[in-house]
Chain A
């Protein structure tokens, strides 16, 4: 499709959105890639002011509690331990320092592109314990589950995982149930839905009466998603619709979901800045308990964790109570080159996206 053609279609979308918005409406996305997409296309500036586009807790590294990061760093200080992590996690602050700072202090902390690479590090260093930081939503957790199954089969007993996973739909449900903020519709995450399937949002649409649309990452994808949500609202409906057909089916990836449930079982999980949300975590099943880093490396979780730096509003931002510019430190004390909270550290964090692309 040619550029002018695209622009014309986008203009038509904006016209349609303007016609559909009559009073205050709040739509929330729960995906770091959507956070970036909405900001980079400057969508907020082009829609009516009464249409609020909120960023929910869609950045997995941002919602990892400081206490777990502190715990991981304590493990990294143990002799014989190698900590492996996705690069996104490196600069995220715990209570006092980050993995990157711990590394300069001499801990063996390595960035890997895949959990499979972490397993290979363990295979090559049988006298060391290799801990992989298991952060991520349902896009990522099956890749780690598959790696654990392979490590178990190959007898790589020195590979273990720190389970800090998060499950998205029950968290969305909890945000609605809390009643803290108005949510008139969810722009559902793209690649999380590739795995879990769009049917996973049915309970939210049916029981909570909140429309859900799974969209892709192009400007037109997002705009069409917004239109679908507004149309549902106008018609008094609450359904699950898929705009992003090229990557998402109703049932998701069955193989990945089987692998995930063979390896993990749901548990409660703490979300940074939000608190504990029942049923949103994953912990290893019996057969994989020996691969739980919390058992394998016997160090206590430090008790003095400070969840967020003083004055940082990431918690309110991720619950949809505030937009980043409403934080007093945004763009002044807190910038991507000198970040204070996790939402400014991660490139997918709401604060970083608003800063990078000019206030959303």
Chain B
């Protein structure tokens, strides 16, 4: 449950921001990364950005997460079969 997911800051409004993940935007709190700027990539956990990171790092992490998700879905489908 300590997994954090990277996203990009699209809009910044005080300590609240709109962050894009895989094309979907969500509201994320920026209280823990006061240095954040518009366009930055952030690592998000439980609705809060916990760190800023560069784009390349963010993309690597995203690729890994997509893999894990795919496998989990496959597994649950397999488990659901009698």
Interface on A for B, CB 8 Å cutoff?
A: 31-33, 36, 40, 59-61, 86, 88, 113-117, 135-137, 139-140, 142-144, 146-147, 149-150, 189-192, 194-195, 217-218, 246-247, 253, 255-256, 259, 336-337, 346-348, 356
Contact of B46 among A40, A115, A190, A218 (CB under 8 A): A115
- Min CB distance, A342 to chain B, in Å? 12
Closest to B72 in A: A347
**Chain B residues touching A, range:** 20 to 34
15 contacts between A and B (CB under 8 A): A59-B1, A86-B1, A114-B47, A115-B47, A140-B45, A142-B32, A143-B48, A144-B46, A189-B2, A194-B51, A246-B53, A247-B53, A253-B50, A336-B79, A348-B1
Complex Cα distance, B3 from A61, in Å, reads: 13
Residue of B nearest to A348 (CB): B1
Across the two chains, which residue of chain B brings its CB closest to A87? B1
> What separation, in Å, do the CA atoms of A85 and B33 have in the docked complex?
24
In the complex, what distance in Å separates the CA atom of A348 from the CA atom of B31?
27
Cross-chain contact A255 with B33 (CB below 8 angstroms): yes
CB within 8 A of A114: which of B2, B29, B34, B72? B29
Which B positions have Cβ atoms within 8 angstroms of A?
1-4, 29, 31-34, 43, 45-48, 50-51, 53-54, 57, 60-61, 64, 68, 71-72, 75, 79
Q: Least Cβ distance of B61 to chain A in Å? A: 8
Most buried by A among B34, B46, B57, B60: B46
Query: In the complex the two chains form, what is the Cα distance from A294 to B69 in whole Å?
Result: 37
The residue of chain B having its C-beta at the shortest distance from the C-beta of A337 within the complex is B79
Closest B residue, CB atoms, query A114 = B47
Chain B: interface secondary structure?
A: mixed
Query: In the complex, what's the smallest C-beta–C-beta distance from A250 to chain B, in angstroms?
Result: 14
Q: Is the CB of A143 within 8 A of B4?
A: no
Is the pair A137, B29 in contact by a Cβ cutoff of 8 Å? no
Asked if A33 and B47 sit within 8 Å, CB to CB, the answer is no
Please, which residues of chain A bring their CB within 8 A of the CB of B64?
217-218
Asked whether, in the complex, the Cβ of A113 is within 8 Å of the Cβ of B3, the reply is no
Beyond A140-B2, A253-B51, 5 additional contacts (C-beta under 8 Å) are A32-B2, A142-B32, A143-B45, A218-B64, A255-B34
B residues near A61, Cβ cutoff 8 Å: 1
Contacts of B75 in A (CB 8 A): 356
The reply to whether A191 and B43 contact each other, CB–CB distance below 8 Å, is yes
What's the nearest-Cβ distance from chain A to residue B78, in Å?
10
Task: Give Cα distance in the complex from A195 to B3, angstroms.
Answer: 12
Bound state CA distance, A333 and B31, in angstroms? Answer: 45
In the assembled complex, the Cα of A192 lies from the Cα of B71 at a distance in Å of 24
